[in-house]
Every structure is written in C-alpha cells, then in structure tokens.
Structure 1
Amino acid sequence: MKLDQISVRQVKGVSALKEGELHAFGVRTIADLLGYFPFRYEDYRVRELSEVKNGEKATVLGIIRGNGILQRYGRSKSRLTCKIEVSGMLVTAVWFNRHFLKEQLTPGREIMLTGKWEQHRLQMTVSDSEFPDSAKNSKSGSLQPVYSIGGNITQAWIRKTIATALEQYGPMVEEVLPYELVEEHRLMTRAEAFQLLHMPGDFRKGQEARRRMVYEELFLFQLKLQAYRSLNRVRNDGIAFRIESETIRSFAATLPFELTDAQKKVVNEILTDMRRGYSMNRLLQGDVGSGKTVVAAIALYGAVKAGHQGALMVPTEILAEQHAKSLQRMYEGLGVEVGLLTGSMTERKRRDLLASLQMGLIDVVVGTHALIQEGVFFRSLGLVVTDEQHRFGVNQRSILRHKGMNPDVLTMTATPIPRTLAITAYGDMDVSTLKEMPRGRKPIKTYWVKHGSMDRVLGFIRKEVSSGRQVYVICPLIEESDKLDVQNAIDQYVQLQQAFPDLKIGLLHGRMTAAEKDEVMSEFGANESHVLVATTVVEVGVDVPNATLMIIMDAERFGLSQLHQLRGRVGRGEHQSYCVLVADPKSENGRERMKVMTETTDGFEVARRDLELRGPGDFFGTKQSGLPEFKVADMVADYEVLETAREDAGRLTEREDFWKNESFSRLWSILKHDQLFQGEQLD
C-alpha cells in the first residue's frame, strides 16, 4: 500500500481521539503526517554566554549557586528566581508559573537553561529548562522542530508521533522527481529530506533538506501549469481568428494619438495568439496610465471583424460605464455595437440587452459580475477580456470563459506584478508588459507630510484650483469608526467645505447609489466641481485629465500597490501633477512605504518592494488570488529556485517522450490526481 492510503491511526500511540484531532489539521494519512513539516526550529545547542547578544534567545549550561525564591500572585501565577553560575558569571534565572521546579533547584546541581538574555540586568527569562542528570530525552545540543498545533495536541506529542511514523514508514517514502533532475541539482532523496526536515540534527543538513523540498514543491506546481499549457496547444480546439493586418492598421489610424512602440509590440503578440488554433491565455500587465484599454479595444475590434463577439468584465459599475463610453467613442462610425450590462439596470433594459446579445446584435459587451449570471448568452463569444483580474475569483473567470466555445482570454492588470508572482500565479499564461508611457506624460511628484502640516496642504489645494486644475482627496473610511482613528470621507468633506466656502466640493463613496456616483463623477469630469473627496472607489480606471493633485489622508493605512494605483488617477493630462501623502506612520513598515512612494513612480519597482514588505499572501489583497499555499517554499526568498523549477518543468513537458516514457509515470499520476486530464481548464 502507498502511504497516502494508510490511515494515520496505524502509527503507534495514535488513539481514536488523537486521530480526530489530527484530522482537524488535515492529517488523515501517513503521507499527510510525514508531510506535516515544522514551521521553525528551537535551537537548543549550548552556547557560551559571551557569544549571546542582549535580547537574544539562547541555551546555556550552568551550576545552581543558591536556593530558589518563590513569589505567588493570586491562585495560579508565580515567579521563581534562582542564582546560577554560567560561564564564570552569576546570573539570575527567572521562571514564570513553574513553582514546582523550586524543590529541584539544589545548589551545586547542573542545569540547562533556554531563554531570553538581558545583559544589563544579568538575567535570563527562562522558557525551557532541564537537568542533565535526570533528562531521559534531553534536548541539549539539538534543533527541535516546532509544529503548528492546537487542541489537546502538544509539541512533545506531535514530535514523538512523527518520529515513530518515520521509524515505521520512513523507508516507504517514494521518490517523485525524475532521477535526472535529482542528479542535476544535487538533491538528497525524498526519504532523506523527510527525515531531516523533522529531525535536522544541524542547520546545514536541515537547509539541504529544505532545498530539496522547496524545489519539489515548486517543480510539481510548475509542472501542472506547463503540462496544461502544452496540452492546450496540442488540443487546438480554440478559435483561429482571421484578422487582416490592414483592418487593424486602419482602425489604429482613426485613433486621436499614435500608439507607443510598447503598445504596437503587445498588439502584435495578442493578434498572433488570436490567429492560432488554441485558446489564448495571456496576461497584459502595465503601469497605471500605460494604455492597456486601447490595446484591449484593438483586440476586441479584431475579434468582431473576424465574425465573433467580445466581452470586457470589470470590477465596478463606474469602471464599466467609463469603459463602455470609451469604446463607443473609439468605435464610432465603424459599425461596432457596444452594450453595457450592470447589476443596477432596470429589468426591461436588461431583457432587451440580453436578447440583442444572444442574437448577435451587440458586438462587444462591457459589464460587471452581471456578465456571468445565469441567463446571459452569446451568439458567438470569441474574446473575453477581464480587467483588474485579481479582484475576480477563479470560478467567476471560468464561468465567463464557458459562455463561449473556448474563447480567447486576455487578462489585464494595472497592478504591475513582480516576475516571481507572475510565473507562480500565472504560470500557465503568456505575459505581455507595457512599460512605456504615452508621449508627453510628466512623472508625478510625490511628497510625504505629517498631519501637522495640513495648512500647507490646504494652501496647495488653493494654488492648484486657482490655476484651473482639480484635486482628489482620498480617505480610508466612509464615516467615523470607534476602532480606527482615521480621517473619514464625510468629515473631510465637511472640513473642506468650511475651509473653501467658495469652491464646489464633491463626495464619492461606495454606499452611494449608481446614479449618485454618476452625477458626482460627471460633475468632476466636466470641471463643475473643484475638489472630489472620495474613498478608494476612484482607485481604478477613473480618468480626469484636468485633475493634477492627489491627496491621500492616513496614507499609512494603504498598501504600496494601492497607493500607487491612487496616485495614477492624476498625471493624465499635459500639466505637472502631484501626490501628497498625509501620514504619521507608527511602524517601520509604514515609514518604509512612504519612503518608497517618494523615491519612485515606476509601478514595477513599487510592486517589487511591496512584495518584499508584505509577502505574496497579501499582495493581491484577497484569498481568491489563486496563489498556491506552499508548505516549505517561499516565493520571495526562493525566487531563483522557482525560476529553475519553471524552466525544468517547461523543458520536460515539451519532450515527446514525457507522455510515453514509464520513468515519468509517477508524475503522470500526480497530474491525473489534479484533474489535468479531466477536460477542465485550469484557471
């Protein structure tokens, strides 16, 4: 039997009760238990006190030189102190709530202490201690694994149980990596790695075991993506669009501006994909204002001229309406019918639009999540474009894709994604990047000020408005909150009305109706209001070229990528634009974010720093991101291994013998287990 078919109950010492508790951690089989790796190690290697820095945790060996002194607080709390000689120094050892140790503290007896060293007080706050003359399973000199546990399961019990399982079943651990890769990268065997991750002995061996398992995790993940990609191309069941180059050139000539070289390159990449017989799966990433919408418009135009329909799905109604108007302007006089589908439409308008869509009278439909609801049918959906894709769940994108016969998919994001994340989250996609800004764009000047400088900020607002420009003021909350001491949009709106009684101030937030939002945005867009106070509703896609000043209140409350998105709402016209971050960050992380924003306007650099500061899990801001949960690997720290694993997986899946050679059968079974061959497309 294989280890993933043997119940964890078969391990000596696992009762029915303990089995139930292990199930709560997702541990059901021997394979699960052996793969339940520690998240860190406690270092019990004995050190000389002179090597230990102040505030550092360490293990030292000493001799008891006094009697224990016990102080009790209430029924269950206590403080025990004792003088210990360590490395020729007399040190005070302090235990909390370990009153039972008092009787064992015999002068002259040897003791091992693990705890935090306070050099100036010559004191160690002890977290663990043992007496070498009576310790059966001494931790001294070892690295002890620390597991994520709860309930009635203790560290001691899980350590012992995993050690028993390794003894019973360790030799049955099967190799999953091809021999050639193990040799090429000088990796230890899988069985050795399991043994050493749980019981490393020393750091060097533990690091080698970790290197092996990091590579395995990243390789197997990339193998799924690369295998899907190669199978998709073999299947060849997508739409091969017949798009004439002259059709695209003549459409581009109607635009009121010339495409940048980057836009031309990306358009060519997309059209080349669309002309092929397999379904395009491409990510278009570009910095704020780099012209992704125009590229999408050209791709949708190509799909329509080839006899199919296009769909553009966006996260908010404001953005849907804006994109619909923008496409209507671009397609004017070219015979392309654009429709808009949102959740707030009247039932009659919705019914008429759905009928037109099904009959093929609408060529391109722009919408929110309403596009993936039941009852939405297309005559011939050929191209799906999703904007700000990380806001849509995996299932939502999949539903839209299934409304056509394997339509091409173009995913757009204005959050530049570091390469590390792009090849992990979107490993099955081809990536196009827009780094070049449209001609004439001036870099936005960014400043960071404290709340005490609000008078200067108000003076800046007056200066810009007097020059005929407009201003955004962004706040993190809609109304006052007891929990967060942050400036809110409604209060800020009132304060600005008092500060500038002669100016028209607008207010925009997520709780307003669609009609109210439209009215406020229309006024601001037509320069009928001077200042717009808003929540992050304006983060994506709102385009007012006359707005030149972005003020972000309590800027430390926002992530770096979000700050960069907000900053991108200005700098869209010919005039110099500015961003002012009003913040008093308490943390080092918060100060670092303000520093990054004032140092660079490059979205890719901002994204790289954001990934370093926040880690991959928080980068997208949602759990729907599709990012895998790795047991050992870390996408930031293990970036080079990720690159290697991707290259290896790509090389392997492109080999003809990969699908025929029996030596790869273990990998086939892993791919089959993940439903790669079930006809479902990975998303």
Structure 2
Amino acid sequence: MSSSLFTTPIVKLQGVSSKKAEELHALGISSVGGLIEHYPFRYEDYRIRELSEVKDGEKITVQGTIAAMPSLQRYGGKSRLICRITVDGMLLTAVWFNRAFLQEQLTPGRDIIVSGKWEQRRRHITVADSEFPDRGASKSGTLQPVYSIGGTITQAYIRKAIDKALTQFGALIPEILPAEIVSKHGLIPRREAIMRIHRPENSHEGQEARRRMVYEELFLFQLKLQAYRATHHKQQVGIVHPVNNDDIRGFVGTLPFSLTDSQKQVINEILHDMKQPFMMNRLLQGDVGAGKTVVAAVALFATVKAGHQGALMVPTEILAEQHARSLGKMFEPLGITVGLLTGSMTDRKRRDILASLQMGLLDILVGTHALIQEDVYFRSLGLVVTDEQHRFGVNQRSILRRKGMSPDVLTMTATPIPRTLAITVFGDMDVSTLRERPRGRLPIRTFWVKHEMMDRVLGFIRKEAEAGRQTFFICPLIEESEKLDVQNAIDLHMQLHQSLPELSVGLLHGRMSAAEKEQTMGAFAAGATNVLVSTTVIEVGVDVPNATLMIIMDADRFGLSQLHQLRGRVGRGAHQSYCILIADPKSENGQERMKAMTDTDDGFEISRRDLELRGPGEFFGTKQSGMPEFRLANLLNDFAVLEQAREDAAELTATESFWSAQSYQPLRDYLQREAGEQSEPLD
C-alpha cells in the first residue's frame, strides 16, 4: 500500500466526520490506507438461487411476487409480519419479526426479493433482509462483504466508506510484490485484488483476491523475519565456544540415565552453533517430559568449559529453585558452581550472589525475571537459556541477552507446534525439536468425569496412596470468589483433610512466601505428603517422579495447552500415571478440550487442536512473542502458503540485487517503515 495512503487521515475521506473518525480509530483505522486494508472476514450471499438448490436450514435469497395481503401479529411489544409470496410458481410464507412498518408496502402483485433462513418442510422463510426491485435493488445478486465493526459504525456505513475510499483513492494503490513472484504464483495485480476483495462479482473472484492478499500478507511477514536474519543473525559476531567433544562425552557419562537419540541430535545442533563465530539464536521445543533441561545442561556445561558463564531464566520461583537444585547435583561434583537469584531472596543473599557473579566465582546463575534487573552483572556471559519463552516478553529476553557481549541464546518451550510451522513462525530462530520420550516412560492415561463422581476419585487417591504413590490436585482459584462458581484450593484442602483423614494433604499457591512454598514442595518431593492441593503454580517444570495421579478440578476453565502442561507433572517415573479431568463443560469449546485431552497425550497434536480452538493470535500470544494478528491469513488453513512465502522471502533476501535494485525499492521501503515503527533499524 502506498505510504501516502497511510499518511492521509481518515477525515479526508468524504462523509467521514470527526466523530466517526474517532470510532474508526477505535477499530484501528486512522488513515485511508488503513480503511482500504480493513478486509471483510466473510460475505453475505444475496445471489438469487433456485429453491431446488437450497438445503433445509440454509440461507436463501429469492425473487417472487406478493400473493396476498399480509397479516400483522403483536405480542409483548414485539411484532410478527406474515405474507404469502409466489416464487417460481410455488407459494411460500415469508415472516418478518419486528418490521411492522413494512405492512403497507407489502401490496399484492408487487415484486419482492427476500433473504433469510429456508425451512423446506413448511415452505417458510424467516426474513433477514428484503427489498423491492421497483425501488432499485442494492443487494440482490451480490456478495456483500461483512466487516468487523463497533460503536455506531454499521455494516452499511463501513461498506459505503470503503467504497468511497476505493473510488477516490483506488488509483493510488501500488504493486508491492516483485513481478517474478506475481508471475510465479499466478497472482492477480494488487490493485485488482484489493478492489475484488471488497467488491467481488462472484465466489471465484473473491477467492482469487483473497489468495493474492493472503500470500502478500504472509510474504511481507516472512520478509521482515528473513531480512532480520540476513542483516543481524549470522553477520552478528558472537562468542566462539571451542567445544571439546571428549569433555561433553565425559559429562554425559556422569548422568544417571542414557540420552535419547532425539536428545543427542539436538545437542549436536546446539554445540555446532556454539562453535561458530556468530551468535546462536535457537529455539528448542519438545513435549512435556521430553528432556529439554538435560539438553540445556549440556549447553551450559559447554559454555563454562569454554571459560564463560551461563544464565537460565525461568518464569516461577518454584521452577527456579528446582532447576538450581538439579543443576547443582549435576555440576557441583565437577567443580562448576550454580547460583540462584529470585525476587524473594534476602538482601544479604542477593548481594553475595551478585558479587560472586561479577567476580566470576559463579559459573551458572538460575533465576526468574530478577536476572534482568539493572544491578545484575556477569563477568563473561556466554550463554542465555530461557525456559518457557512465551512467559517472557520480547523486551525481557533481549535485556538478559544484552548483559553479555552477544552471548549465544537458547530458548526453550514445552508448547510444541509442528516443526515446519515453528520454523516458519519463529523465522529469526533456528529450531530444534525433541520428539522422543525418555526410555521407560509410560503414556499417561487420561479420563474425563463429572463432579458427581468425586467419591470414586477419592477412592482412586486412596488406592494410589496405598501403593506408595502421590497425587496432585489442581484448582483454578486460590480462594472462594463471588464471581466464579468453581472450586478453590483453600476450601478443597480443608475438604480433603476431612474426606481423607488417613492421608497427609498439603497446600500450595502463589500467595505463600518463598520459604512456605519451598517447605511444602520439599515435603511433597520427599514423599512426606500424600496429596498436594495446588493452583497452576506447579504448571511448569515441577518434577516429582513418585507422583502418579493428576486431578484437575473445573478442568474446562483451563486452556488446552495448560491442561497438557499440568498433566505433564505426572508420568515422570517408572509407574503408570493417570490424569483425571473433573468438569461439566457448558460450552462446545470446553467439551472439545476435554475430548482432545482424552484422545491423545501427544503435545504436538494437543497444540494443533489448541491452535484450531483458540486461533493463532491467542495461541502464540501476540503481545508476548511479537506474533502479529493477520488480517486475512489463517496459520492452519494457509500453512502451505506460509511455507512458500518463507522460501520466497529467504531466497530473495539472500540475493545482492534485493538490497540494491530499483525494482525492489517498494519492499525495502516497507521494511524501513516497519523497522521505524518498531524503533529498530534495519541494518
């Protein structure tokens, strides 16, 4: 889109008052270009069809003749207008609700066009729209675009405004894609596509227009990522880690388990990057329990052996404490020191940790977002590992990275998506994927039950306890809420004390002090507590191999990926584990989540279904990951286009001509505008 269209205020458009301009601003439309790129999300079909073509319950538009005087019924301040019309020799009943003013216009013998829901058995149309050909039909025979609206902005108003914008400024819409790409994919010209997407003559035109604009949207998104890679990634001088393979093999040999083939492959990919003179920027994704922490430990070991320090940033204090303990057990026998930094530490402990870090006496620092505070200084930061990357904003991750001289970056997530989609979405990162479970782990058996089956659930808890196993019991709230009728942890803790007097029941939630949390988790990890009632504070990373039962109350209140994360807290030992979802979901979406959880325990499949249910923007966390909300594209349905756009963008940005030839100036201008908006120079 021409930059002049985006600098032309919306009030310059005929018919847009300052008040309407404010309401359009609330929809994210501040310029003429923004209005033209406010695309419809669907179309209302007003094309006249034969009755024989229409199925029962479908929307239909027909043209007929009024056969008799209408009748008007009034009830409780509402009205129903009934009229008989003939269509193709068939007598139909048309019904309007709350349209009493039409009664005088429905005169016998007058032609009429009606659109609405068709009931075949009764030969009945519930009319949504109607018009008279003798007045000059405006909708019939067309596909009418339907836009996102709000306030006093109606569909009729925004259709008219966009129509005026296209008439007044349409000639200024430039082509932005290179001619060779337009030709390669058989795309229609940009101006024509934008005109057609707002004013399609038929379904084929609308599809061709959408195909062109979806490709462009995904191509421009990928172009930003690939241009960033070309100008920053492998040209940005990083730390060379002279990794000694014998040292790595020696460290792996000290572990009390064997690595999976998938872990070995991923470690090789990471160590290969760490040996290079450019900064590593790699995403490590894997299902819950796939062994990402061990992979991160190998990378941290490599940076320390090369004379540098490592940082591991995690989202919660419980997880930070757990990682610090597990890494300490691995590294301290080897003379490698591990420290912990969290927001709840005493001032004295914090000062000691920061002094050791700055002097280089501390090799690895594990912590929460406390790691990115201003007074945290590393002597020589060589590797930054971020666990559960979606929990941290883009800025938080970059602050930690800037605490060193271009350290290598390893980002981990247990919310896996198909590798090809990950490569495409996280285009500025290399992607490693763990698919295997550690050897000997059994699939977790998952059941969905209603609240009235609680007695049976309690019996299952007793049975597991008698076998020496432990139970997690998760609630959506800490305490009772007036607004939400769901189970809370404090009440459930008291109820379980009464229902299971022979068992020890612990309580864990986010309002407890760090010492209380550590004591509670320590007792559970040591087996002193049979049942742990908790909120989602234990969602990520908590590892208690003896826990075999995960029970989630009001499970329909949780997202699908979150449910899978919670389920992943069990099944970490050699014994069969179970997940019980207690829910009475009223929404179809809630029922779909329960079904997905009982159908599979494959995190990649769970993520695919979550993406379908929630949509890409919410799934990726637009604010957190920088993932845009696409106007037209859908990451699931348009995945093949996304991959093609990625290939085209990567190929183009790798050529010298892209950065200098006049034919690519519109794309370079676009990149410069985007870089300016994000306050980040292109090169």
TM-score range (shorter-chain normalised) is over 0.9
Q: How does 1:330-479 map to 2 (within 5 A)?
A: 330-419=330-419, 421-479=421-479
Q: Indicate the larger mover: 639-648 or 469-478.
A: 469-478
Of 40, 43, 46, 1:44 maps to 46
Q: How does 1:51-62 map to 2 (within 5 A)?
A: 51-62=53-64
- Aligned-partner residue type, residue 198 of structure 2: H
Give me the whole-angstrom Cα distance separating, in 2, the residues matched to 1:297 and 1:18.
Answer: 57
Give me the whole-angstrom Cα distance separating, in 2, the residues matched to 1:325 and 1:269.
Answer: 27
Report the equivalent of 2:118.
117
Alignment check: 8 A CA contact 2:193 2:212 kept: yes
Alignment check: 8 A CA contact 2:309 2:380 kept: yes
Cα 1:234–1:535 change in 2 (3 A) is: closer
Alignment check: 8 A CA contact 1:421 1:616 kept: no
Report the equivalent of 2:573.
573
SS in 2 for 1:83: strand
Cα 1:415–1:504 change in 2 (3 A) is: same
Say whether 1:129 aligns with 2:102: no
Give me the whole-angstrom Cα distance separating, in 2, the residues matched to 1:371 and 1:312.
Answer: 9
Unaligned runs of 5+ in 1: none
Cα root mean square deviation, aligned: 2.2
Give me the whole-angstrom Cα distance separating, in 1, the residues matched to 2:678 and 2:345.
Answer: 38
Report the equivalent of 1:91.
92
Give me the whole-angstrom Cα distance separating, in 2, the residues matched to 1:614 and 1:18.
Answer: 32
Say whether 1:12 aligns with 2:9: no
Alignment check: 8 A CA contact 2:539 2:569 kept: yes
Give me the whole-angstrom Cα distance separating, in 2, the residues matched to 1:299 and 1:202.
Answer: 57
Give me the whole-angstrom Cα distance separating, in 2, the residues matched to 1:33 and 1:617.
Answer: 21
Report the equivalent of 2:25.
23
Give me the whole-angstrom Cα distance separating, in 2, the residues matched to 1:676 and 1:329.
Answer: 47
Report the equivalent of 2:252.
252
Q: How does 1:598-677 map to 2 (within 5 A)?
A: 598-620=598-620, 623-675=623-675
Report the equivalent of 1:562.
562
Task: Give 1:354 deviation, angstroms.
Answer: 1.8
Q: How does 1:161-240 map to 2 (within 5 A)?
A: 161-233=161-233, 235-240=235-240
Task: Give 1:155 deviation, angstroms.
Answer: 2.2
Task: Give 1:16 deviation, angstroms.
Answer: 4.1
Give me the whole-angstrom Cα distance separating, in 2, the residues matched to 1:608 and 1:8.
Answer: 39
Alignment check: 8 A CA contact 2:675 2:681 kept: no
Give me the whole-angstrom Cα distance separating, in 1, the residues matched to 2:66 and 2:296.
Answer: 75
Cα 1:18–1:176 change in 2 (3 A) is: same
Q: TM-score, normalised by structure 1?
A: 0.95
Q: TM-score, normalised by structure 2?
A: 0.95
Alignment check: 8 A CA contact 2:622 2:629 kept: no
Say whether 1:293 aligns with 2:290: no
SS in 2 for 1:675: helix
Alignment check: 8 A CA contact 1:232 1:279 kept: no
Alignment check: 8 A CA contact 1:59 1:115 kept: yes
Report the equivalent of 1:506.
506
Unaligned runs of 5+ in 2: none
Task: Give 1:667 deviation, angstroms.
Answer: 1.1
Task: Give 1:622 deviation, angstroms.
Answer: 7.0
SS in 2 for 1:503: coil
Post-superposition CA distance 1:493-522 (Å, at most 9, x none) = 222222221110111122222222111111
Task: Give 1:177 deviation, angstroms.
Answer: 0.7
Post-superposition CA distance 1:527-568 (Å, at most 9, x none) = 001111112111111111111111222222222222211111
- Aligned-partner residue type, residue 45 of structure 2: D
Post-superposition CA distance 1:41-91 (Å, at most 9, x none) = 11111123343333322212122223333345677x543332223344433
Report the equivalent of 1:537.
537
Task: Give 1:22 deviation, angstroms.
Answer: 3.1
Cα 1:152–1:530 change in 2 (3 A) is: closer
Give me the whole-angstrom Cα distance separating, in 1, the residues matched to 2:648 and 2:273.
Answer: 24
- Aligned-partner residue type, residue 101 of structure 1: L
- Aligned-partner residue type, residue 129 of structure 1: S
Give me the whole-angstrom Cα distance separating, in 2, the residues matched to 1:583 and 1:22.
Answer: 41
Task: Give 1:669 deviation, angstroms.
Answer: 1.2
Report the equivalent of 1:68.
70
Alignment check: 8 A CA contact 2:423 2:430 kept: no
Alignment check: 8 A CA contact 2:46 2:140 kept: yes
Alignment check: 8 A CA contact 1:507 1:532 kept: yes
Alignment check: 8 A CA contact 1:243 1:275 kept: yes
Give me the whole-angstrom Cα distance separating, in 1, the residues matched to 2:526 and 2:74.
Answer: 73
Alignment check: 8 A CA contact 1:389 1:412 kept: yes
Cα 1:494–1:613 change in 2 (3 A) is: same
Task: Give 1:158 deviation, angstroms.
Answer: 2.2
Give me the whole-angstrom Cα distance separating, in 2, the residues matched to 1:113 and 1:543.
Answer: 63
- Aligned-partner residue type, residue 187 of structure 1: L
Give me the whole-angstrom Cα distance separating, in 1, the residues matched to 2:480 and 2:125.
Answer: 45
Cα 1:565–1:485 change in 2 (3 A) is: same
- Aligned-partner residue type, residue 85 of structure 2: I
Q: Indicate the larger mover: 522-531 or 3-12.
A: 3-12
Alignment check: 8 A CA contact 1:39 1:146 kept: yes
Alignment check: 8 A CA contact 1:228 1:676 kept: no
Task: Give 1:301 deviation, angstroms.
Answer: 1.4
Post-superposition CA distance 1:375-407 (Å, at most 9, x none) = 222222221111011111111112111222222
Give me the whole-angstrom Cα distance separating, in 2, the residues matched to 1:351 and 1:337.
Answer: 17
Alignment check: 8 A CA contact 1:232 1:278 kept: no
Percent identity of equivalent pairs: 68
- Aligned-partner residue type, residue 24 of structure 2: L
Cα 1:485–1:261 change in 2 (3 A) is: same
Give me the whole-angstrom Cα distance separating, in 1, the residues matched to 2:487 and 2:677.
Answer: 53
Q: How does 1:298-337 map to 2 (within 5 A)?
A: 298-337=298-337
Cα 1:678–1:118 change in 2 (3 A) is: closer
Task: Give 1:319 deviation, angstroms.
Answer: 0.2
Post-superposition CA distance 1:359-385 (Å, at most 9, x none) = 222211111111112222222222111
Cα 1:187–1:443 change in 2 (3 A) is: same
Give me the whole-angstrom Cα distance separating, in 1, the residues matched to 2:676 and 2:149.
Answer: 33
- Aligned-partner residue type, residue 98 of structure 1: R
SS in 1 for 2:472: strand
Report the equivalent of 1:138.
138
Give me the whole-angstrom Cα distance separating, in 1, the residues matched to 2:163 and 2:250.
Answer: 71
Give me the whole-angstrom Cα distance separating, in 2, the residues matched to 1:678 and 1:595.
Answer: 41
Give me the whole-angstrom Cα distance separating, in 2, the residues matched to 1:470 and 1:565.
Answer: 18
Task: Give 1:421 deviation, angstroms.
Answer: 4.8
Post-superposition CA distance 1:604-653 (Å, at most 9, x none) = 12212222232222324674232211111111111110011111111111
Report the equivalent of 2:548.
548
Report the equivalent of 2:36.
34
Cα 1:679–1:138 change in 2 (3 A) is: closer
Alignment check: 8 A CA contact 1:671 1:677 kept: no
Alignment check: 8 A CA contact 1:425 1:626 kept: no
Alignment check: 8 A CA contact 1:224 1:676 kept: no
Alignment check: 8 A CA contact 1:314 1:367 kept: yes
Alignment check: 8 A CA contact 2:616 2:629 kept: no
- Aligned-partner residue type, residue 63 of structure 1: T
